[in-house]
């Protein structure tokens, strides 16, 4: 694949980093080795207490901007990175994920200079090695109206809105607004629904792959505290409200109800007040037909005891093992 000329659009990769010493150099290397070289990488060290700061300070590359700040959370760090960026195209990226070598080049080519379209990508979950047996997840559509893609992707399942998937023209972000700094857990749900709805269309590149690292201890996605649960609920509420404002239809009400039901599945039986409120939302939106996600022995137990009793038993067992 021939290289993109450096005179083309500047892409700003905005990377918040908190206690990311174990993985951040791998993430940075996946950016620096891109076939598309007209980029800047803006890294905000969000008050890390591990070796992240020293690792970043030892870097010597003119394409990298490093900002050290006190700990204010991922959303605040992402917003700060954006404000220090200068590119006409923006990509947010976690400090423990990886990009395929031609990722940015393929997305820039797909965008073809348009300022009203967002470009998505494929993704693969991995735990230790990107060459593990997990499948690559590709989209079933090439180009779509944003509301149609969101409804399709949210119907009966949890939508994947991982931040590095998207190449976003700067003007769309200026119009939509930045990350909601009151949110922590699933902050990408509210943010990307809002951003995507500000585009005229959304398109995908199958061969651009985000390698999404899972199983990281103490990562935001693994936190199940009350504050995290409140953030998840608020993100779902704000995201679905944006959907309903854009299109008040039965299909949108259905995916909104499904989103709240997935919250119930995730957090039950913890935080009863939040669970009750989410269940009220499901009912007010017309109910849901999605079922509790389970497999193997758990699916067998759920079939006998029901999913709520199964989760209550699991909570007791995990508590006895010293977990949440």
- pLDDT tens string for the chain (324 positions)? 343 343 489 999 999 999 999 999 999 999 999 999 999 999 999 999 999 999 999 999 999 999 999 999 999 999 999 999 999 999 999 999 999 999 999 999 999 999 999 999 999 999 988 888 889 999 988 899 999 999 999 998 889 999 999 999 999 999 999 999 999 999 999 999 999 999 999 999 999 999 999 876 544 444 568 999 999 999 999 999 999 999 999 999 999 999 999 999 999 999 999 999 999 999 999 999 999 998 888 899 999 999 999 999 988 887 776 544
114 Cβ contact list (under 8 Å, min separation 6): 169
Cα separation, 243 vs 250, in Å, equals 12
pLDDT score at 322: 52
| Residue given tokens 């080795």 in the structure block | 33
Q: Is the whole-model pTM more than 0.85?
A: yes
Looking at the DSSP bridge assignments, the partners of residue 226 are none
Alpha helix positions (H), the chain: 24-32, 52-57, 74-83, 103-111, 146-154, 170-176, 187-196, 226-246, 250-267, 272-284, 296-305, 307-320
13 to 134, 166, 208: CA distances (angstroms)? 26, 11, 15
160: Cα separation from own chain's centroid: 7
Nearest alpha carbon to residue 15 among 74, 95, 100 = 95
SS3 state at 51: coil
Looking at the DSSP bridge assignments, the partners of residue 20 are none
Contact 139, 196 (CB under 8 A): no
Contact 45, 69 (CB under 8 A): yes
Contact 80, 46 (CB under 8 A): no
pLDDT score at 172: 98
pLDDT score at 140: 81
């Amino acid at each position: 694949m021939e290289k993109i000329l450096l005179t083309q659009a500047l892409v700003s990769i905005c990377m918040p980093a908190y206690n990311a010493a174990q993985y951040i150099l791998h993430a940075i290397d996946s950016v620096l080795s891109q076939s598309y070289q007209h980029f800047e990488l803006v890294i905000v060290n969000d008050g890390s207490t591990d070796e992240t700061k020293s690792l970043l300070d030892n870097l010597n590359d003119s394409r990298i901007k490093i900002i050290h700040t006190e700990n204010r959370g991922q959303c605040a760090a992402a917003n700060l990175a954006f404000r220090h960026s200068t590119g006409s195209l923006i990509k947010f990226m976690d400090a423990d994920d990886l990009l395929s070598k031609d990722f940015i080049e393929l997305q820039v080519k797909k965008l073809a200079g348009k300022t009203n379209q967002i470009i998505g990508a494929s993704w693969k979950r991995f735990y230790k090695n990107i060459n593990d047996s997990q499948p690559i997840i590709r989209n079933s559509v090439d180009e779509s109206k944003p509301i149609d893609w969101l409804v399709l992707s949210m119907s009966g399942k949890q939508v994947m809105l991982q931040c590095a998937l998207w190449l976003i023209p700067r003007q769309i972000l200026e119009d939509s607004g930045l990350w909601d700094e009151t949110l922590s857990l699933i902050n990408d749900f509210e943010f990307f629904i809002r951003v995507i709805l500000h585009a005229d269309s959304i398109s995908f590149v199958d061969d651009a792959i985000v390698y999404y690292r899972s199983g990281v201890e103490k990562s935001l996605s693994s936190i199940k505290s009350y504050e995290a649960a409140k953030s998840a609920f608020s993100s779902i509420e704000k995201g679905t409200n944006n959907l309903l404002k854009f299109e008040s239809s039965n299909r949108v009400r259905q995916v909104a109800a499904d989103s709240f039901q997935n919250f119930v599945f995730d957090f039950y039986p913890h935080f009863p007040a939040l669970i009750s409120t989410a269940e009220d939302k499901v009912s007010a939106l017309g109910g849901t037909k999605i079922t509790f996600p389970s497999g193997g022995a758990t699916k067998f137990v759920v079939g006998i005891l029901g999913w709520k009793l199964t989760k209550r038993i699991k909570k007791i067992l995990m508590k006895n093992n010293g977990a949440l």
